[in-house]
Amino acid sequence: MCFLKYSWFFILCFSLSIFSQKKQFLDSVIVTETKINVPFSKNYRSIEIINSSQIRESGVSNIIDLLQQSTGLDIRRRGAGGVQADLYIRGGGFDQTLLLIDGMKMDDSQTGHHTLNMLIPVHLIERVEIIKGPAARIFGQNAFSGAINIVTKSAWKTGKKEAVVFLNNLSGGSYGNFKYSLYSNISSSQYSGLINYTREKSKGYRYNTDYKSDNIFIKSRLSKKNANTNLIATLSNRKFGANGFYASPDAIDQYEETQTSLVGLSSIYNSGNLIIKPKIYWRRNQDEYIYVRSDPSIYRNLHKTNKISAEVNFNYLSSLGNTGFGLEFSNVSITSNNLGEHKRFTSSFYVDHTFSLFNNKLTISPGVSLSYFSDLSFHSFPGLDIGYDLSNKLRLYANFGQTFRIPTYTDLYYSDRTTIGNENLEPESAKSTEFGFKFNTNNLIFKSAIFWRDSQNIIDYVKKNEDDLWQATNIRSLKTYGFESDIVINFNSKSFLKLGYALLNDDTYVNNINFSKYSLNSLKNNFISKFSFKYLKNLTQNIVFRYAERSDETNYTILDSNIVYNPFKDAGEIFLNLNNIFNESYWETNLVPMPGRNFIIGYRASF
């Protein structure tokens, strides 16, 4: 019935595409690990792509610190080293943002707190694709306010049999921080593979904030004439003191261990104008939480979630445009001493068509995604993108979308001394709209967007009185609107200045809710500037300035600096990271104090 409801709209758009005269060829698109994307300059969405060169030049030590430099993203860290953090886009909750690794979805049925558990080391990342705004019509539920896809690097191919092993990273710094990484590359005429091991540990910057993390990453590729097959296997294991991370700031003896693994197999087949991309993967997450680290018998939770997914995506290019469609089936399960045992089967189908009119000046892209949840119901997510090229430098765009999120098992069943779930929760839904423009020249990039989102049944943990329990509750409605703008000025090939500003406003909840745990503490004002320049041919410095003001009117100012010295060209580089130079006292979530002034110094290979 939902498909029939919107079918008239897609028939109309498809009929219009027949009048598009210019044929689109296969080499006009970029094949990624997810879908086929039109070139970035032609994409009429708020999309930011951070490539491997930009990642390396940023000097960041983990993906979380990198994402904090992007306008419209709110990364709320608990402690240092990225051991625990939540991801927000445009005021959406941490359960409303989807993270993908090589197109494989990292959503966790227990809670969105585990979205960032799989921290891929930054030297293994080829690029980061950030989609701001609803992406449900392609990726399904959880892409409520946006999606981030991390595309990992493949081993380099030499065309001959070869294997190398080397120390990729060695660094240390404040609070007993120590990190090293070992990398191995294997290559033959048709096969390439890599193995990477990274360990990082720290004594912690205050009581019970020590941590130790290990990551093993394996990726192999088999290349043939019309097909590429990738195998990825990665394991992230973290153990950390969680002083005040959860419950209340007074819970100073909390402790947590997480273990997240991913095994995935994917292929890309080319046959004329048809591209087929099948994929199957298994994600497992184990979370052990202890309320008093020295005595687990007082309170302990152990959750194990599994997700097995199979999908196939198709793209067909013709004189009528670019048609994408796909099927996905997934089975998720959880075993928990607190949440119980539950299973859910999900099936999804999407179709998306892009075509151009008026000599390719006008681009229209309608689409819809249909999903069925075995323990809930059937839902649809329609959407539409429209773009118009005023010139080869200036582009206007608009997009409209409907999105959806089902409750996590924590929302439904969790219970402890401060929090209680709600088995009667309804799914969240929202209608989103965005208008923007992009202006690109060789030396200047300027883009801005305004957006608003009308959300229904938003799930938050609320209470009337300070001493009450936090209760998972559907809020009747929440209207969010905002503005974003980015300017990049390239002075020359060696120096640039980037300025970004985001304004966000949430309407007030219903009057009888006095305390909200998540939704009412968005980044109201956020200003980011980054200045990168070279003193000498082999000496570079990045300076990043961030100002943040939240809805509760708390604010902070952070200044970071990264200096890179590359004396031997391809033999690696020496770096020095200075963080929180102003020694600002601040917190990003749950009143957890962030580290003061600190540094990291080390060596990393260039590849």
What digits encode the pLDDT tens for the residues 177-203? 999 999 999 888 788 899 999 999 999
Mean pLDDT value of segment 289-310: 97
pLDDT in the model for residue 56: 83
Both tokens assigned to 90: 């445009």
pLDDT in the model for residue 556: 96
Both tokens assigned to 104: 């494989």
Residue 34 above 70 pLDDT? no
Residue 246 is part of a domain; what is its CATH number?
2.40.170.20
Strands 274-290 and 394-405, how do they pair?
Answer: unpaired
- Residue 97 CB neighbour total at 10 angstroms: 28
pLDDT in the model for residue 509: 54
Mean pLDDT value of segment 236-261: 94
| Alpha carbons 174 and 600: distance in angstroms, whole number | 7
pLDDT band of 53, cuts 50, 70, 90 = confident
Q: Is 467 exposed, middle or buried (0-12, 13-18, 19+ CB in 10 A)?
A: exposed
pLDDT in the model for residue 93: 85
* Per-residue model confidence as pLDDT tens digits over 454-484: 999 988 888 888 888 889 999 878 889 999 9
- The rounded mean pLDDT for the chain is 87
Mean pLDDT value of segment 296-318: 95
Which of 178-187, 254-263, 303-312 is predicted least confidently? 178-187
What residues are paired with 55 via a beta bridge? none
Percent of the chain surpassing pLDDT 90: 61
* Per-residue model confidence as pLDDT tens digits over 149-180: 999 998 877 666 777 888 899 999 999 999 99
Amino acid at 432: S
pLDDT in the model for residue 158: 64
Name every residue whose Cβ is closer than 8 Å to that of residue 68 and which is 6 or more positions away in sequence.
Answer: 75, 546
Place of tokens 């991370």: 245
Mean pLDDT value of segment 7-16: 43
Residue 1 above 50 pLDDT? no
pTM, whole model, 2 decimals? 0.91
Residue 26 above 50 pLDDT? no
| Alpha carbons 488 and 73: distance in angstroms, whole number | 18
- Residue 496 CB neighbour total at 10 angstroms: 18
Mean pLDDT value of segment 242-261: 93
Both tokens assigned to 128: 């980061």
Residue 519 above 70 pLDDT? no
Both tokens assigned to 162: 């070869």
Q: Is 378 exposed, middle or buried (0-12, 13-18, 19+ CB in 10 A)?
A: exposed
Mean pLDDT value of segment 390-416: 92
pLDDT band of 148, cuts 50, 70, 90 = very high
Mean pLDDT value of segment 14-34: 41
* Per-residue model confidence as pLDDT tens digits over 435-456: 999 999 989 999 999 999 999 9
pLDDT in the model for residue 33: 41
pLDDT in the model for residue 520: 66
How many domains is the chain built from?
1
Residue-range definition of the domain harbouring residue 149: 2-604
pLDDT band of 595, cuts 50, 70, 90 = very high
Which of 10-14, 215-219, 443-447 is predicted least confidently? 10-14
Longest dimension (CA), the chain: 72
Mean pLDDT value of segment 109-134: 91
pLDDT in the model for residue 306: 98
- Please report, in angstroms and rounded to a whole number, the separation of the first and last CA atoms in the chain: 52
Mean pLDDT value of segment 589-606: 92
| Nearest one of 2, 157, 32 to 102, comparing CA atoms | 32
Residue 591 above 80 pLDDT? yes
pLDDT in the model for residue 29: 41
Both tokens assigned to 262: 């991913």
CB of 395 within 8 A of CB of 438? yes
pLDDT in the model for residue 5: 45
DSSP state of 157: P
Residue 297 above 70 pLDDT? yes
